[in-house]
Amino acid sequence: HQHKVESRNSDWRRIEDQLEKTLQSPGKRPIQRAIYTTHGVVGAGGGGKRSRRVADEYSASVEDRQRREDGGSLAFADFVVWLGDLNYRIDMARREVVESIAENKVEELASRDQLRKAQTEGRVARGYREGELSFKPTYKYDPASDVYDSSVKARVPAWTDRILFKSRRGDDLRLVSYAACDDVKSSDHRPVMAYFEAST
């Protein structure tokens, strides 16, 4: 999945750019909130020409887009919460990931997370924060079980479902908890939940 990271980053920028263009200026409303959900940001395609084209087309930074006179509606939001299946993976072999999970070395796995790396390098989700990945990867399970994908594909466990957030002032949206719902086993994903406190 490493070769698809730039495609994921490009898709993130494309969706964010489209949201910027569709939202209206908040006017005189005292609190502007924006909550976005994304499912399968990546789609089925891989990298290659499409990734380069999308990356070129949407390479402008979020800050540059927010400065435009005709846009920038996300810049006016007091709080933005972006959640969903972002489809980023862990840059490790499946065997290593499963062993690290068994040994409860979640911090080591988090250090190899593709989304965290892309954020650190400033390639995607600039200005967004996320809680600590202190829970086991939430994808891909055999449905109705605690067993990671035992199919022929044997997917590498990962944190594909994420909750990112930001606030205009920076300190008025506090993450209280960020966790996986391990008791919900009806899907091959474990749901992720976050609890926030907001100052108004």
pLDDT digits (tens, 9 = 90+) for 48-84: 343 333 333 333 344 454 444 334 567 678 888 989 9
Cis? peptide before 140, omega within 30° of 0: yes
Count of structural domains within the chain: 1
In a domain, 200, yes or no: no
**DSSP category for residue 73:** G
Residue 133 in domain? yes
| pLDDT score at 156 | 97
Q: Is residue 78 part of a domain?
A: yes
Give the range of the structural domain holding residue 158, as residue numbers without chain letter: 2-195
Contact between 32 and 76 (Cβ < 8 Å): yes
Residue type at 95? R
Is 139 inside a domain boundary? yes
pLDDT tens, 75-129? 678 888 989 999 999 999 999 999 999 999 999 999 999 999 999 998 888 889 9
Flag whether 117 is in a domain.
yes
CATH number at residue 190: 3.60.10.10
Alpha-carbon gap, residue 48 to 123, rounded angstroms: 18
Largest CA distance in the chain: 55
Q: Is 81 a member of any domain?
A: yes
More confident residue, 197 or 33: 197
Judge whether 75 lies within some domain.
yes
